[in-house]
Amino acid sequence: MSRGLKLTLLLALPLAGFLALLGLLWQGLGRDPSLLPSALIDRPLPAFRLAALGEPGRFISQDDLKGKPALLNVWATWCPTCRAEHEMLRSLAAQGVTIYGVNYKDDPTKAVQWLKDLGNPYTLNIDDQSGQLGIDLGVYGAPETFILDARGVIRYRHVGAVDEQVWREVLEPRLKLLQGGQG
Amino acid sequence: MRRWLPLLLALLAPPALAAIDAEHRFDDPAQEARYRDLIAELRCPKCQNQNIADSNAPLAQDLRQKVYDMMQAGRSDQEIVDYLVARYGDFVRYRPPLRADTWLLWFGPFAAIGAAALGVALWLHSRAQRTRPALDEHARQRLAELLRQHDEDSR
Amino acid sequence: MLPEIGQFTLLLAIANAALLGTLPLLGAARGDGRLMTVARPLAAGQFAFVGLAFLCLALAFVDNDFSVAYVANNSNTQLPLWYRITAVWGGHEGSMLLWSLILAGWTLAVALASAALPRELLARVLGVMGLISLGFLLFLQLTSNPFARNLPFFPLDGRDLNPLLQDFGLIVHPPMLYMGYVGFSVAFAFVVAALLSGRLDSAWARWSRPWTTAAWCFLTLGIALGSWWAYYELGWGGWWFWDPVENASFMPWLLGTALIHSLAATEKRGVFRAWTVLLAIATFSLSVLGTFLVRSGVLTSVHAFANDPERGLFILTLLALISGGALTLLVLRAHVIRSEGEFAPLSRESGLLANNLLLVGGCAVVFTGTLFPLAVDVLNLGKLSVGPPYFNTLFVPLALVLLAVLGVGPLLRWKRDSAGRLWRPLAPWLAAAGVLGLTLPSLVGAEFRWLVSLSLALVLWVLFSSLQDLRERLEHRSRPWYSAWHLPRAYKGMLLAHLGLAVTVTGVALTSHYSVERDVRLILEQSVQIGPYRFRLDALENADGPNYTATRARIEVRDGADRIVRLMTPEKRLYTVQQMPMTEVALAPGLLRDLYVALGEPLDQRSWAVRIYYKPFVRWLWLGALLMAAGGLLALLDPRYRLARRRATVAAGGSANVARA
């Protein structure tokens, strides 16, 4: 091989590397680097035993959330986005979707008042004042919405508000699939 | 609604002020140093690019508390990191694990440097081979002699 | 009215850049002298138009013209005048305008200083810079117009400048950084011009050397300022976080440093031509890549601008055109590149090769660590973080090997050297450095850390071998001090820059291992012992400013002999417009140690959470960077460059005559 050709081939390497880099950066555009997938996908719900919100004597455990596919929504009164999605959750509950709530690091009195004022879409509401369940679920910012299957296994997590679009494009198809598998 | 959401989140973003945390104390300075090193290597999942030692975000405070509690309970660094990785994924550690999918990260740069060094060495060697016949041993001795004479003359 | 004038001059600048980017290149390709001569006046016009646009934006800030959206987003009537002016580059749009202004400034400087360059080469260099300018001005106009209006309903007052930016460090940091980034475009333009002409001899290396060194000096200062800012602002107390934004500025610095060294070999000995060309392209490409990383939102960083994929796409396209174009041109012209000089495996040339290998290797580490999380994410393999533990593990060994090589490198002779000649005088120095490195920490009563000892030994090795080199150079001179003063400036500059690196490494090693860092509860009229000092909280008082409210603590510091060393007054501020809390660190700087106090939160009426640091030798970090920049400046002033220019004129004139005949 002549010296010139060798150098040409050698210098083609950086160009090839550069094109690969362009491809990578191109793919990276528009992605949200701060969005974190759950580490708990396809794992059973972490074990817990916590009081029901507003009913300090009654305890809820992971077994109470089994039986049918459902949404598990992490919310708090200090979280403005939770207020923004609340109406959507209510309409979902009205359509028959089972929604369990985790009241995350909140003041129970305020939380109970909030449900009175805005309506209660939750079948069950877990009072996680210490935030331990939040840590076990890998919650990093309320609101978060998990999809559980009938055996209480976490199948998906959505971070941020649930709105019409998120429900239609992201949550509903996945929930349907689980319900279909069950039926 | 989706359009104003990012704006809202931006307004709510916690200020990037350093966390100054005087509460988590250890009697043993070695333990305290261990605690500091550990929380410096753990990333706050909520924040921009910050560790839980520097971040003031509520989640970082909770995780500091968790690490502190686990240390007080006698857990090892590995156990604490595993605990958090099981919940938040590999994102939570600033020291990526050594696995098949991170070999490129950990060994790639040094492999490239090694390969380049080897390539350069071979290149230099082949050049040295090529240039050597230009002067045979006799000629080189003669040249050295001339140079020496020249040096002495110029003094 | 002023914003309209600004907008108009921006459009003129775009038109001007379009002309500058085409006519001279066309002229050079066709050998049309008239088209080539327009390059210099167009370069002047470029600077005038962008400068006017910049001035108009600055005046809009001074006038509090909140009908301009950018002003409304980044200023406020209560903001002091000084900060209103510097707020011009406090956000994305204005900082890109500053970028363009600096690019126009470098273009003008090349046009003014290179009157002696061959006409064709100058036309091509200015033409390439015009094209780059065109790209960034279009980016400004189409995606980030700083003159966009808030009409008809504009706010009565602005949203204020981010309080983080209301600080001296951050006022000078971006211009310095951009001077560095953009300055590398000159070397890039010289390379592309040489590739276009097909004449890849060593001439372009000689011409681009001083420009590269100048850009490198600015970048060095810019990075040092950023690091200094991070140290005292916000109470972090760290000086380097391996954040993507820091890495984005560090990568071009590493490659730029490699480029300075390989340019020396290419200029003096005609070797490594293809490699040097590649480095020049890569250095400027990484500067543009840095701009992309900071402004596109592909990476999370503490310092990133408001992110926008659309802007990201535009910069990515620019990057593809600029670097892709140059790299393609390089492949097409590879056959004309001929390296000349022969050299032996042990020679100055191979020393510089080792230097390049290590610096580029260091850049590869930073590059891999910065982009790996993005690659993993794009390939849907999950999310992971790469942080300081990774970078320190991989980068520190490379840096130490670099220091070891640096000890011998400058003593090596061009072409061929012998190990025996080097070894005899250096061996005792090496032994001395090793022994001192091992014992020095213990002698001053510090704990033994092998990494500190190794670093100190290598630092001393660089120092001693430099002294040995000086001694050899001055051995037979009758007046050594006089001769030392009159050594070539390029040589003195090199020495200074290398010692600067040694000083920085000393600072890094000592402050990383011997700092005492405590977050404590400090109670009124009580004290706490940190390192060799006692800190006593004397009083808490109000200290409100023009656009903030504040609490100030008065903390008295006494040394071991109970003498008052310093009264430190850290503040905790709340900027009222953005409701943003800020902490103003109190510093007691010193050559041998810094004391650092930052206020956290009040714990009750009489006590605060306070961060107190005792940081030995932390100043050496930035002092070393200053020395490096000063060394670069000194090398830049070497009269050789002026002579080289004159000689080049004669040579070029000669060859032109031959061509005509």
C173-183 mean pLDDT:
94
Return the higher-pLDDT residue of B113 and C80: B113
In this predicted structure, what is the pLDDT of residue C592? 92
With b meaning 16 or more CB within 10 Å and e meaning fewer, what string describes C402-416? bbbbbbbbbbbbbee
**A24, A47, B29, B51: which is closest to C530 by C-alpha?**
B29
Q: Do residue B17 and residue C581 have CB atoms under 8 angstroms apart?
A: yes
What pairs with residue A72 in β-bridges? A100, A146
Strand partners, B93: B42
CA distance C8 to B69: 63
DSSP one-letter code for A160: S
Q: What is the pLDDT of residues C121-142, one digit of tens each?
A: 999 999 999 999 999 999 999 9
Judged against a pLDDT cut of 80, whether residue B140 lies above it is answered with no
Contact C357 B120 (CB under 8 A): yes
Name the burial class of residue C466, with classes exposed (0-12), middle (13-18) and buried (19+) by CB atoms within 10 angstroms of its CB: buried
Query: What pLDDT is recorded for position C303?
Result: 62
Regions in chain A scoring below 70 on pLDDT: 1, 181-183
Would you state the pLDDT for residue C28?
93
The radius of gyration of chain A's CA atoms, rounded to the nearest angstrom, is 23
pTM: 0.91
C-alpha C580/C-alpha A108 separation (Å) is 29
Instruction: Look at C385 and B116 and tell me if their CB atoms are within 8 Å.
Output: no
Helix (H) or strand (E) holding C539: strand C533-542
Give me the pLDDT at residue C304, please: 60
The two structure tokens encoding residue C208: 């681009």
**Can the peptide bond before residue C589 be classed as cis, meaning omega within 30 degrees of 0?**
no
| Among candidate residues A167, A164, A155, A130, the one with its CA nearest the CA of residue A50 | A130
Q: C46-76 b/e with 16+ CB inside 10 Å = b?
A: bbbbbbbbbbbbbbbbeebbbebbbbbbbbb
Cα atoms found within 13 Å of the Cα of residue C329, Cβ hemisphere only: 21
Reduce the DSSP state of residue C475 to 3 states and report it: coil
Across C141-158, average pLDDT: 85
How many CB atoms lie under 10 A from the CB of residue B77?
15
Q: Which two three-digit tokens encode residue C178?
A: 């951009």
Interface test with A, best of C327, C363, C379 (most A CBs within 10 A): C327
Cα separation of B92 and A148, whole Å? Answer: 24
**pLDDT value of position B132:** 54
Say if residue C219's pLDDT is above 90: yes
Instruction: Tell if the CB–CB gap between C331 and A18 is shorter than 8 Å.
Output: no
pLDDT band at B16 (very low <50, low <70, confident <90, very high): low
- Per the DSSP assignment, residues forming a β-bridge with A71 are A99, A147
Whether B42 and B63 have beta carbons less than 8 Å apart is answered as: yes
Distance from C-alpha of C530 to C-alpha of C596, rounded to nearest angstrom: 11
pLDDT of residue C19: 97
Helices C39-62 and C23-30, axial angle in degrees (round to 10): 170
Token pair belonging to A28? 């990276």
Amino acid in the structure at residue C156: L
pLDDT tens per residue, range C613-628:
999 999 999 999 999 9
Strands in A65-143 per DSSP E: 70-75, 99-104, 124-128
Q: Whole-angstrom Cα distance, residue C397 to residue C421?
A: 28
Query: Between residues C20 and B7, which one has the greater pLDDT?
Result: C20
Confidence check: pLDDT of C661 > 50: no
Provide the β-strand partners of residue C68: C149
Mean pLDDT value across chain C: 89
Q: What is the pLDDT of residues C454-474, one digit of tens each?
A: 999 999 999 999 999 998 888
Degrees to nearest 5, angle at CA C372 with C367 and C375: 125
pLDDT tens digits for C189-200? 999 999 998 888
Structure tokens at B78: 């590995």
**Which of the other chains make 3 or more beta carbon contacts under 8 angstroms with chain A?**
B, C
Token reading at B136: 């045979």
Predicted confidence band of residue B154 (pLDDT cuts 50, 70, 90):
low
C369 in contact with B at a CB cutoff of 8 Å? yes
Least Cα separation, residue A174 to chain B (angstroms): 21
Percent of chain C with pLDDT over 70: 96
C319/A11 CB distance under 8 A = no
For residue A168, give the DSSP letter.
I
Among A35-49, C247-261, C264-278, top mean pLDDT goes to C247-261
pLDDT attached to residue C482: 81
pLDDT digit string, tens, across residues C403-437: 999 999 899 999 888 888 889 889 999 999 999 99
Parallel, antiparallel, or unpaired for β C564-568 and C548-558? Answer: antiparallel
Assign A157 to helix, strand or coil: strand
3-state SS record for chain B = CCCHHHHHHHHHCCCCCCCCCCCCCCCCHHHHHHHHHHHHCEECCCCCCCECCCCCCHHHHHHHHHHHHHHHCCCCHHHHHHHHHHHHCHHHECCCCCCHHHHHHHHHHHHHHHHHHHHHHHHHHHHHHHHHHHCCHHHHHHHHHHHHHHHHHHC
Q: Where in C116-170 does DSSP place strands (E)?
A: none
Q: Is the peptide bond before C244 cis (omega within 30 degrees of 0)?
A: no
DSSP character string of C276-343: HHHHHHHHHHHHHHHHHHHHHSSS--SSPPSP-HHHHHHHHHHHIIIIIHHHHHHHHHGGG-------
Q: Which residues of B touch C300 (CB under 8 A)?
A: 48-49
**Burial class of residue B76 (count of CB atoms within 10 Å of its CB; 0-12, 13-18, 19+):** exposed
Name the residue among C393, C396, C374 with its Cα closest to residue C385: C374
List of chain A residues whose C-beta atoms are within 8 Å of the C-beta of residue C275? none
Q: Does A131 touch chain B (CB under 8 A)?
A: yes
Note whether C164 and C234 are within 8 A (CB): yes
C539-581 tens-digit pLDDT? 999 988 888 899 999 999 999 888 999 999 999 988 888 788 8
* Confidence label for C657 from pLDDT (cuts 50, 70 and 90): very low
* Window C:141-180, CB contacts with B under 8 Å: 164
Distance between CA C42 and CA C47 in Å, rounded? 9
Question: For residue C473, what pLDDT is reported?
Answer: 86
In this predicted structure, the answer to whether residue B135 has a pLDDT above a threshold of 60 is no
Among the partner-chain residues C350, C357, C520, the one whose CB lies closest to the CB of B113 is C357
Interchain contact, A160 vs B58, CB within 8 Å? no
- pLDDT tens digit string along C31-62? 998 999 999 999 999 999 999 999 999 999 99
Query: Chain B closest CA to A38's CA: distance in Å?
Result: 7
* Distance, C-alpha C487 to centroid of its chain: 28
Cβ contact A31–C378 (<8 Å): yes
Cβ neighbourhood burial of C194 (10 Å; 0-12, 13-18, 19+): buried
Cα–Cα nearest to C271, from C193, C191, C341, C187? C341
Question: What residues does C521 pair with on adjacent strands?
Answer: C609
Residues contacting B140, CB < 8 A, separation 6+: none
